[in-house]
Structure 1
Amino acid sequence: MQNSIDSADVQALEWDAVLAHRSDATTIAQVRDRLVDHGVTPEAVAAALRDGGSDLAAAATSDRDDWAAPYGGLVAVALISAEVAAYSSHLVARASAVRSVAVDALLEDFSAVSVAGELGVSRQKVYEIARDSGKRRASIARHHGRSS
């Protein structure tokens, strides 16, 4: 019996997983194509995402003329680094959204002054953090495939 999934399908699935932090299918396809055009593999991007770009940074500061060669060259390094930055941005946005939802829930039971004291921020900052928590909760749910 022949498997109906060929290697191109498997690689597309790998790219979808590695680029899951990207916002939509069109963007994922554009980024994937750009990476593939420069010989970057899903594994190379995944490795950089796992270590937060530490290996790339170490290579870039190594004083070796060929430091980018193991990654596929300077364009490949720039593209991989862009994915580390995009992933980092995604994590910051998600953490901010979760914080907003948590602070909003705290405000249901505690005063803004109490919450501010616990978090080490001003009362005004507590209100700023909690603002739009409903939209942020929906955004988190959408990204994780859950309805709000």
Structure 2
Amino acid sequence: MSSQPGGDSDWDVVLAHRPPDTRDPVRERFASAGVTPVQVRAALIDGGDELFRAVTEKKDDDWAEPFGGPLAVALIAAEVGALAAHLTSRASAVRAVAVEALLDEFSAVAVASRLGVSRQKVYDIARPGATGSFIDRTPWSI
């Protein structure tokens, strides 16, 4: 993460999976709930494991307090979901390029058989998609 004053660059790094024009409202929601980029990054790195453990092992009504309370937990959990959705879209874009390359060499029936999908699904998968608007690396590999 960057150590620039103001923290905006920290939020840009943590929210890199979101389009730049959508980051400000997300950042504002976090700030209004007292959530820091460090907290969000920790949840993204562990895939929400600590949040899940806290909610499933809750021993009292204060289970959410270590994270900043229920609002903070809801916002952080939503961000874990946003990252998961981004990674799913990124994987789909990569798969589309690979399937398109396979179709240059093999029939749709052969590709479908190898992938375990229908012939029609092969054509759906291979629809061209942009691959440039995704994060280069996952938060846990930075």
Q: Scaled by the length of structure 2, what TM-score is found?
A: 0.87
Structure 1 counterpart of 2:38: 43
Query: Can you list the C-alpha shifts for 1:18-61, whole angstroms capped at 9, x where unaligned?
Result: 00111233x10110111011111111111111111111011011
Larger Rg: 1
Q: For residues 142 and 88 of structure 1, do their structure 2 counterparts lie closer, same or farther at Cα, with a shift above 3 Å needed?
A: closer
What is aligned with 2:82? 86
1:75 and 2:71 equivalent? yes
Name 2:111's counterpart in structure 1. 115
Q: RMSD across aligned C-alpha pairs, in angstroms?
A: 1.7
Question: 2:55 is matched with which residue: 21, 37, 60?
Answer: 60
Q: CA deviation at 1:6?
A: 5.6
- How many matched pairs? 133
Partner of 1:7: 5
**SS of residue in 2 equivalent to 1:14:** helix
Does the Cα contact within 8 Å between 2:108 and 2:119 map onto a contact in 1? yes
Specify the code of the residue in structure 1 equivalent to 2:43. A
Alignment-mate amino acid for residue 120 of structure 1: G
d(CA) in 1 for partners of 2:75, 2:81? 10
Deviation at 1:7, TM superposition (A): 2.5
SS of residue paired to 2:132: helix
Gaps of 5+ in 2: 137-142
Could you tell me how far apart the structure 2 residues matched to 1:92 and 1:79 are? 20
Q: Deviations over 1:92-138 (max 9, x none)?
A: 1111111111101110011111111211111111111112x1xx1xx
Instruction: Classify 1:144/1:71 alpha carbon distance in 2 versus 1 (closer, same or farther; 3 Å).
Output: closer
TM-score normalized with structure 1 length: 0.83
Higher RCO (C-alpha 8 Å, min separation 6): 2
- What secondary structure, in the 3-state scheme, does the structure 2 residue paired with 1:93 have? helix
Structure 1 residues 63 and 19: CA distance shift in structure 2, 3 A: same
Q: What is the percentage of aligned positions where both structures have the same residue?
A: 55
- Structure with a larger share of its residues in helix: 1
Q: Distance in 2 between matches of 1:44 and 1:51?
A: 11
CA apart distance, 1:74: 0.5
Query: Any gaps of 5 or more consecutive residues in structure 1?
Result: none
